[in-house]
Amino acid sequence: MFLVAGLGNPGEEYADTPHNLGFLVVDRLAERHGIRVTRKDSKALVGVGEIDGHPVMLAKPQTFMNLSGTSLEPLMGKHSIPVDRLVVIYDELDLGWTALKIKPKGSAAGHNGMKSVIGSLKTSAIVRVRLGIHPGHPLASGTDYLLAPIGRSQRKELDGFIAYAADAVRSIIAEGVEKAMTTYNRRAPGSKTEEA
């Protein structure tokens, strides 16, 4: 079974923020594949179903972003899910808005949610889908931006971005991470440089 985990913060006040894009992608996958992500398990909301014939558990840790690993580690242990069947989806301030980067392994690159997952699982060989959220202009405070409602101009592109990310996750499960990287990794519009 695959475990697809979107990172975010629980609670209505965070529902509409850039920091919760991981949750939004899990919600989209659940909607597309008829999976109800409502059962409480290991400090997460989970649902089990199938994506392209593969058994999948969708999860939204309810621990707050910075403690995500304290939910995923016991969840994986309880359901005997190996780390090579884990896909973690999260927002990335180092990437421009609507950029998407699938990586099979690597450091947390300053992302506290991913840092917690790597620390709890004691490996950085974790497939991740990084969703670019940087608005393309200087920010007074990264934290304030992450936890503020998504801006009006970005909202126009949000639905398409979430759909694209859900397609990328489906591709990882159905076709493997290398094929998904080739098909779905993309820079932000207008970005000239290869992003980290």
The catalytic residues are 19
Strand partners, 35: none
Q: Cα(44)–Cα(64) distance, rounded to whole angstroms?
A: 10
Helix intervals (H) in 48-110: 69-78
Strands (E), 37-85: 39-41, 44-51, 54-61
53, 60, 111, 137 from 134: Cα distances, Å: 35, 23, 14, 8
